[in-house]
Each structure stands twice: as C-alpha cells, then as structure tokens.
Structure 1
Amino acid sequence: MDHSPKKITVGTVTRNTLSKQVVENITQLLISGQMKPGDKLPTEMELMEILNVSRPVLREALSSLESLGIITRKTREGTFFNNKVSSHPFSAMLALASDNLQAMIEARMALELGLITIAAEKICDEDLERLKQTIDVIESSKDNNYWGADIEFHRIIALSANNPVVEGLIDSLIVTLLKTNSIVKVRERQRTLEHHIAIYNALVKRDPFEAFHQMFLHLDYVRQKVLNTETSN
C-alpha cells in the first residue's frame, strides 16, 4: 500500500470548539473519499498548517480520534486511518457527534435495546454467570467505584447477541459508555443494582420483551441523569 502523503483539502478551523472541529475535518476526509482506510495522514506540522491550529489542539483531536478507533499513531511511521474503519462506520459518526451528548446517548439506546432482544434468545449459561459476577462486584464495591463492572455488564450482553454484522458496533457502544460514565459524578449503586438485576432476571427467563423493557428503564434513567448533570454544569 502506498503510504506517501496525499494532497488534501479541508476547511480551516475558526470556531471556539477547536479540537472538535479538527475531529470533524479529519473524519470528513474519509467520508468525502479524499482519503481511504489505511492511508497515511499528513504530519503534525502539515496538519497544523492546513487546519490553522496549535499543536495542543491538534493532539487533543488526534487522541479523540484514536480512542474512537478512527486512526492509529505509529512511532516513527506516522498517523494512519485504521484499515478496519470502513467496517466500523458508527465510530466515524460518533466522532462527528462527539459534542452532541444527547445524540450519543440516543445512539447507545438504539444499539443496546436492539442487542438485548437478540441476546435474550441467544445468551448462554456461561455468559449469564459472568453477568452475575459483575452484579456481585457492583454490590461489594467500595466508594461506588464500580464503573468497570458496569461497562462489562453491558459488553457481555452486547456480545451475547452473537451477530457478526453488528460486532463492529460494540466498540463504539463502549465509547458511549465511557463518555456517559465520565460525566456522571454521583453514582447510585443501589439503583444500578436494581436495574442490572432486573435485566439479568429477564435474560435468565430468555424473555426478549421483558429484557427490552428493563433495559429501556435503565437507559432512560441514565439518559435523564446524564443530561441533567450536563445542564447543571
């Protein structure tokens, strides 16, 4: 593959949310077809000049793109669009909507509500046991430090759908979980436990309707809490 830099055209950044605008402009290179998965991006100095931004702003944007799985930075080689990014288009959409918290939460709801109905029909006893273990970790957690077990609970359910077509969306789902977890400062362990146990019980019964209902109650609670927290900041 030819990794030589390509001549590209992007708009300069002029608004206040500089790093977010850089994320949008770089992602648009893929969407517009100017660059393709696997292509090497211009150097940092070249991007700084093209986008008219400082090095800290550019590096903040590149870190965001890397966490979303859009790019990979290789020491002494440069920065590349990931080869698999075309099979994970939802990551690109998340990058473009990174400043739209409500849209990200609604996207998470759309994904998880669909996945859990499938998981309810396919989940195996081993995965149910792993779900129970995450509930036990949350119940015994100190200082409400249970976010890792919380994320694992949702990841296990998503993977239990066992659908290769949607597997590429699961990493993006985790990104939205991390985003919402970073915003909520006050955790309610008992409420989380109640929701997770209700979801778990529905999955044990292999009841997709009840699983959907309980997951909706949980995600709607999270949505209201996150948006209220964001509004009050």
Structure 2
Amino acid sequence: MYSQIHSSTLCEAVVNQIHELILKGELKPGDRLPPERELAERLGVSRTVIREASRVLTENGLLMVKPGKGRFITAPNFRPLTQSVGFLMRAQNVTFKHLLTVRRLLEVGMAGLAAQHATMEDIQAIRDAYEKMESARDDTVAFVNADQSFHLAVAKATKNPLFMMLLDPIIDLIQEGRRMTHSVPGSIEASQRWHKMIYEAIARRDKQGAEQAMQGHLDEVESELGWIELNLRQLGPEALSTRTAI
C-alpha cells in the first residue's frame, strides 16, 4: 500500500501520500499506522521525517497519537480549519458586521434549501436545538451552545456538505457575537421568535418562508449589534473598537 518517497520535500510527500490513502479509502478512521521504524523503511525516509509528518497530520486533525498504542487515523473534521480561520479573522481585524454580511449570503439560501431537502431526522434535530434554547433562556452558555446546534442542523439539512464546510469555521465567531447580544434587552425573546419561525417553515417545506425567517433573524442580529455600538460609544472609541472587533 505504501510506496517509497522520492522528493526534496520529504515530509510534505509523506503527508500527501497519507492524504491519498485516506481519500482512496485504503486508510480509514481507526486504522493504526505501522510502527515508526517500519513506516520509515516502507517509504524510504528517515524516522525524523515520519515524526514531522505525524506532527503535521495530527495538527490537521487526521491523526491521533495514543501513547503506548501508536498513531491512528481519525475522521476528517473542521476544527483545525476553524482555529485557523478564527486566527486569520482576528489578525485582519474582521468585525461582527463583516461576519453578518457573510451570514446573510450563506444562511438565507441555506434555510431555503433545508426546507426543500430536510429529512424527518433533520427536522427533529432542528426542533431539539430550538427546544434546548427555549429551556436555556437564563443560561448564556447553554443557550449559545444550543444556538450553534440549531444553525449547524439547518446547514446539515441542506444535504450539501459544502454548507457545513463553510459554516463550521465561522460558527465559533458567530457564537461569540451571540454571547455579546445575549444581554441586549429583548434579545432572547426576539431570537426565539425567529428561530421558531425558521424551524416551522422548514418543517412545512416552505422555502420562501424559511428564507424570510432567516433574513428576519439576521436583521434582528444587526439591530442588536447597533444597540451595543450605541451604548459602547459612551465608553469611548477605544472600548468600541475592542468590543466590536472579533
């Protein structure tokens, strides 16, 4: 299964070969890689190269090292991408208003597609998330976590995996904004009204209704961010830039 490496960038070549084996299904989540010495011999590289490639694969979320047991393939996940995107957005001084613009482009259409393609299991997952939000109105952490589950469930219901890939890297930043707006007077009540409308429109297969409800929800978020900015101005521009930047 493994072939010898002939490249000036040996670590990259090893990583690429493991990627290919995963994509071809020859390596599956839970599979254990050969011991370091054996893998180095099979690939024709040093053990140092294998260690470096293992580090890269681990950072990319494709490999898990279990002390005393070995290195195991893990299911691809978005966490490394989420962390990288979050860092880049902060480095570029992206604001919540920038994020909201992207959400409008992404989530309005996403809600409409969910109304068209959601299975009964998807609809139940969206409802469960809504009900968890409803029961956690006074618990910011639980409410924000349920809010995240709601939007990810809508993304999953589109049956287009790209929506999950696009939404997941920014979901933590969305929830950071949710934590900020949680204290805005009337925010929770308004949020729940819109989430209920989104859920109900998806459940009755109403594409236009789902899109309108999601648009209304994001309009409400924009209004809440405006309320926060207005109040922060009383603390001076330094406090405003600190609190409204991601």
Q: TM-score, normalised by structure 1?
A: 0.58
Q: Say yes or no: does 1:106 pair with 2:101.
A: yes
Q: Residue 115 of structure 1: CA displacement?
A: 1.2
Residue 224 of structure 2 is matched in structure 1 by: 225
Identity of aligned residues (%): 22
1:127–1:156 contact (8 Å) kept in structure 2: yes
Amino acid at match of 2:115: A
Q: Show CA shifts across 1:5-27 (max 9, x none).
A: xxxxxxxxxxxxxxxxxxxxxxx
CA distance in 1, matches of 2:115, 2:160: 13
Q: Residue 89 of structure 1: CA displacement?
A: 8.7
What are the equivalent positions in structure 2 for 1:167-206 lying under 5 Å apart?
A: 167-186=164-183, 188-206=187-205
1:94–1:104 contact (8 Å) kept in structure 2: no
CA distance in 2, matches of 1:140, 1:184: 18
Aligned pair in 2 of structure 1 residues 185, 132: CA closer, same or farther (>3 Å)?
closer
Q: Residue 149 of structure 1: CA displacement?
A: 0.8
Number of equivalenced pairs: 166
Residue 206 of structure 2 is matched in structure 1 by: 207
Amino acid at match of 1:113: V
Q: Say yes or no: does 1:116 pair with 2:115.
A: no
2:134–2:192 contact (8 Å) kept in structure 1: yes
Q: Show CA shifts across 1:169-206 (max 9, x none).
A: 12124133123124325053222211111111111111
CA distance in 1, matches of 2:137, 2:195: 18
Q: Residue 105 of structure 1: CA displacement?
A: 1.6
Amino acid at match of 1:118: L
Q: TM-score, normalised by structure 2?
A: 0.55
Secondary structure, in 3 states, of the residue corresponding to 1:197? helix
Amino acid at match of 2:220: Y
CA distance in 1, matches of 2:84, 2:130: 32
Q: Residue 226 of structure 1: CA displacement?
A: 2.2
What are the equivalent positions in structure 2 for 1:1-233 lying under 5 Å apart?
A: 2-3=10-11, 95-98=87-90, 99-101=93-95, 102-141=97-136, 143-145=138-140, 146-186=143-183, 188-230=187-229, 232=232, 233=240
Aligned Cα RMSD in Å?
Answer: 3.8
> Structure 1: which 5+ residue stretches go unaligned?
5-37, 42-65, 75-83
Residue 27 of structure 1 is matched in structure 2 by: none
CA distance in 1, matches of 2:139, 2:86: 28
Aligned pair in 2 of structure 1 residues 131, 185: CA closer, same or farther (>3 Å)?
closer
Residue 72 of structure 2 is matched in structure 1 by: none
**Greater helix share, 1 or 2?**
2
> Structure 2: which 5+ residue stretches go unaligned?
1-8, 13-52, 66-75, 233-239, 241-246
2:190–2:220 contact (8 Å) kept in structure 1: no
Larger Rg: 2
CA distance in 2, matches of 1:93, 1:213: 29
